[in-house]
Structure 1
Amino acid sequence: MDFASTTPQRSTWQYDEPAPGTERFVTEQFYGYQQQARLLVPDIERAPPLFVVGGARSDFTRLNPLLYRLQQHGIGSLCANLSGHSLASEPGAPAATLAINREEALRFHQHVASRCTTLVGHSLGGAIALKLAAQLPAVDTLVLICPAVYPDAAHDQPFGPAFTHAIRKPYGFLECDSYDFLRQFPGRVLLVVGEYDGLNSKAYGQGAGTSAGTRWLAGVQRYSPIPEEVTHALLRSVPAPHVECLMLTDCDHGIAAHLRDAPEVADLVAETVAGFILEQR
């Protein structure tokens, strides 16, 4: 693997924080642009490296509060910047889409493919991780953090108005083959969700099969972009013995920010995720 020990892109990162161990960088050339990924290497490895797909408006540093702790638990990770989501990924692909993001992620995954058996997907990255898992027979573990699921038709729509229109169709998220994939998936799934994400849309004056959006609850603004039915559909799609759910109290969709603001919660989440990954190693 052609990994470098330094990168000139640090000034574009969302969070330039020192890693607790070794970090390496790899750059891939695409059609007229390039993207970069970061590999976190533990001092003593306890499991093969994870492949992590970040969320919308994220670069590979957004999940530092979790990935750095997993590195300290002996679990490394490779996470890539994907087109259309951050300063670090600019200029990126013109008219970026989920399908383009998936192809970018798949290219980076090849750097750990010989050993990687676990995918982590955060928010929008959860939708991409599910599609990737369907293409990667070696994957036997999924960690989905406040995951989104989008209609299959939305994956080819450029980010912006066209994509937004495609994902706002009531119950459109059920028009996705990822549920069928999960019903046949022989591995294990961990869902990590916030207490105030996936709120019932009808209870907050919105149409059924849509998100509750941003709400003030007990004087605190809560962001709930994931429709309640998405989480229910995911849980119903995985056989009960193969799925676990970790719910974070006093947390909405912004799990990454919550972990950054509450180190003690980040410690517990990292311990839970590490335990889930190591359970059958």
Structure 2
Amino acid sequence: MQLDTDSTQRSAWQYDEPSPGVERFITETFDTYQQQARLLIPDEERAPPLFVVGGAQSDFTRLNPLLYRLQALGIGSLTANLSGHSLASEPGAREPSLTTNREEALRFHRHIAPRCQTVIGHSLGAAIALKLVAQQTAVDKLILICPAVYPDSAHNAPFGPAFKSAISKPYGFLDCDSFEFLRQFPGRVLLVVGEFDGLNSEHHGQGAGTSAGTLWLAGAQRYSPIPEEVTRSLLKSVPPPHLECLLLANCDHGIAAHLRTTPVVADQVAQTVAQFILADS
């Protein structure tokens, strides 16, 4: 594994912020393009590095408010840029899809796979993380942050109109083997959700089994793209002894932005996540 000390893509990052410790970069060459991942290395390691799968329209800096705090707490992480989601991942694969992203993530994950015990999936990245962890017997902790789940048939659909059409069928997300995977998963799951995400769509004028969308609620505009039934199905799929939940008050789907603007909350979330990772490790 070649670790570079700097990134030639830095000018394209969403957030160019100093890390609280060492950062290194890994470049992988695919058929016609390259992608890069960032490894955050703590000064004193307390747990093996996490693998992080980011959400739509994000690069490996989007979760800095959480990952930097974990690094300062002794927990490193490897996060990859995935095709179709950010300026830092361009040009990337032609017609990328969830399947493309999973293959890219697996390629990067192999660099830490022998030691990696924890995977984080954020939003769209949670759908990818669930598929990835199903292939990794060493992973025994899964952290899902405002998680999305999509029908299995959507994973090969190129991002854009085809993907949107594939995920728009009411209750279509139930046709996904990730729920069965969670029922059989022997490890532990931490579910982190915002108070105003996963809202009941019918209560807000939308059809059942779909997203409540963007709405004005409790004095502010809220974004709730995750159907309530997705969150409920995830909760039902994980055996209670293996499940922990963290609900963030006054927060919608934009958890990364919420952590960035409320550092006290970010501190608390990082402490909770660290405790989950370090328990029994």
Interval containing the TM-score (normalised by the shorter chain): over 0.9
Q: Which position in structure 1 is the counterpart of 2:158?
A: 158
Which one-letter code corresponds to 1:260 in the other structure? R
Percent identity, aligned pairs only? 75
Q: Which position in structure 2 is the counterpart of 1:129?
A: 129
- The range that moved more, 217-226 or 65-74, is 217-226
Which one-letter code corresponds to 2:276 in the other structure? F
Q: Which position in structure 2 is the counterpart of 1:39?
A: 39
- Alignment partners' CA distance in 1, 2:7 and 2:95: 26
Q: Which position in structure 2 is the counterpart of 1:111?
A: 111
Q: How does 1:82-97 map to 2 (within 5 A)?
A: 82-97=82-97
- Alignment partners' CA distance in 2, 1:144 and 1:76: 17
Deviation at 1:5, TM superposition (A): 0.8
- Alignment partners' CA distance in 2, 1:8 and 1:54: 20
- Alignment partners' CA distance in 2, 1:12 and 1:190: 31
Which one-letter code corresponds to 1:90 in the other structure? E
Moved over 2 A (4+): none
Deviation at 1:155, TM superposition (A): 0.2
Q: Which position in structure 2 is the counterpart of 1:56?
A: 56
Q: Which position in structure 2 is the counterpart of 1:143?
A: 143
Deviation at 1:86, TM superposition (A): 0.1
Q: TM-score, normalised by structure 2?
A: 1.00
Secondary structure at 1:222 match in 2: strand
- Alignment partners' CA distance in 2, 1:194 and 1:235: 15
Unmatched 5+ residue regions in structure 2? Answer: none
Number of residues paired by the alignment? 281
Q: Which position in structure 1 is the counterpart of 2:205?
A: 205
Matched, 1:185 2:189: no
- Alignment partners' CA distance in 2, 1:232 and 1:138: 27
Cα deviation, 1:122-158, whole Å, max 9, x if unaligned, reads 0000000000010111110000000000000000000
- Alignment partners' CA distance in 2, 1:110 and 1:143: 19
Cα deviation, 1:169-204, whole Å, max 9, x if unaligned, reads 000000000000000000000000000000000000
- Root-mean-square deviation (Å): 0.4
Which one-letter code corresponds to 1:266 in the other structure? A
Matched, 1:195 2:195: yes
Secondary structure at 2:26 match in 1: strand
Q: TM-score, normalised by structure 1?
A: 1.00
- Alignment partners' CA distance in 1, 2:278 and 2:25: 25
Unmatched 5+ residue regions in structure 1? Answer: none
Q: Which position in structure 2 is the counterpart of 1:2?
A: 2
